[in-house]
Amino acid sequence: MSVDDVIDAQDARLEVYMRMNDDSEKDYCFSVGINDTFESLMQVFHTLKLSLRPNAFYHQIPSGFKVSTDPGYLTVYGGLLYTDDATKNTKNVKLTDKISDHAWPGQLIVPVWEPKNSNKFIVLAILAFWLYTDLPDVWSPTPGICLTNQISFIIAAILNKFELKEAALDMIRETAVNRSSFTAQMIFFAFHVFKLTNLMMLREINLIAIGWTGSRKATLEEYKEYFRDTEVKKLGGIVKASKMGMFERLKNPGVILGEGEGFDTPLTDVKSLKQIEANPEKFELTYEYYADIGEYFENYLSTQSKNANTDIKISENMKIVEARKAIGDAKAKEDKKTK
């Protein structure tokens, strides 16, 4: 089967994944034409009225894209998942480059986010002003101006309008300078410093979930948990699985691929499936592999999957998966060579 045959069979479309919010749990699938460029992906960020950036300290629109060349993790079913190094091993691409010239089906595309310093300075200024207003009265050049006091003044004015003068007077008394002891003021100020320090950590979290409804790539941990739960249930429980010596299979339901394997396979050196089978130590991608395993899973989902206890076995032509898994992780192989 030629590359052109596979492309025709896929209606001249290519499915790739793009990482949103710089979050490994938000790798979403996009179907692109084989002639589409990376610039066409920009419409995602212009069309969706959602925050897809890592946090508020970055521009809303990425400046470009990189393609992850991390080889990936080969599952026992023949699928490829991204490892924790997916965004560490990347290659630069131009916006005018064709996506199909740089990415295999299912490969991860990583947006390049540029810092927005103006937002950072605005937030820092607000936090600095907030911290100043909360200085202990014994230190503050302008005691009694904390935001809590301003709120108390507003509440007191409202209480006065409702003829609740005694309650309003109590509110005013609470705002008196140095009403609290020195120790109490220090504890209160320390609390505010701690609170603002936590706010400064906003850059480490996602501010807005995108609520995407399309296909999402499972993380490695999600796959392992699903595989373990499914296999244990199929075997009749954890005790039976233990007696059958299945713990090793449950612990390692796949292998970490190495340099030149998986998504690190050069697109300029596409080999046939037979050539790959002849060298099981190196799991290189081929369009024939995608066509074969895609056809198998399409058949599985339409027939066998109706029985929840049906075991998912790779197709006869995918024995290279079993052969590669038997060799073990690429990192483990490298360690053995250095000893």
Look over the chain and give the mean of its residue pLDDT values, rounded to a whole number. 77
Q: What is the pLDDT of residues 233-274, one digit of tens each?
A: 887 887 777 777 777 778 888 999 999 999 999 998 777 878
The mean pLDDT value for 198-207 works out to: 42
Higher pLDDT: 279 or 181? It is 279
User: Is the pLDDT reported for residue 338 higher than 70?
Assistant: no
Cα 5 to chain centroid, rounded: 33
Could you give the CA distance from residue 296 to residue 254 in angstroms, rounded to a whole number?
Answer: 19
Q: Can you give the pLDDT at residue 255?
A: 93
Could you give the CA distance from residue 59 to residue 54 in angstroms, rounded to a whole number?
Answer: 9
Of 124, 121, 113, 123, which Cα lies nearest the Cα of 58?
Answer: 113
The mean pLDDT value for 148-171 works out to: 73
Of 175, 187, 188, 189, which Cα lies nearest the Cα of 143?
Answer: 175
Q: Can you give the pLDDT at residue 183?
A: 54
**pLDDT tier for residue 190 given thresholds of 50, 70 and 90:** low
Q: Can you give the pLDDT at residue 138?
A: 63
Q: Can you give the pLDDT at residue 326?
A: 87
Q: What is the pLDDT of residues 88-107, one digit of tens each?
A: 999 999 999 999 999 999 99
Q: Can you give the pLDDT at residue 204?
A: 37
* Contacts with 3 (C-beta within 8 Å, 6 or more apart), sequence order: 270, 287
Q: Can you give the pLDDT at residue 335?
A: 42
Q: What is the pLDDT of residues 10-35, one digit of tens each?
A: 457 888 999 999 999 999 988 888 89
* Contacts with 260 (C-beta within 8 Å, 6 or more apart), sequence order: 71, 266, 282, 284
Q: What is the pLDDT of residues 264-323, one digit of tens each?
A: 999 987 778 788 888 888 899 988 888 888 877 777 677 655 555 555 555 655 788 888
**pLDDT tier for residue 207 given thresholds of 50, 70 and 90:** very low
Q: Left if phi > 0, otherwise alpha if psi is -120 to 50, otherwise beta: which for 57? A: alpha
Q: Can you give the pLDDT at residue 105?
A: 92
The mean pLDDT value for 155-171 works out to: 74
Residue pair 29/15 in contact (Cβ under 8 Å)? The answer is: yes
DSSP code for 218: P
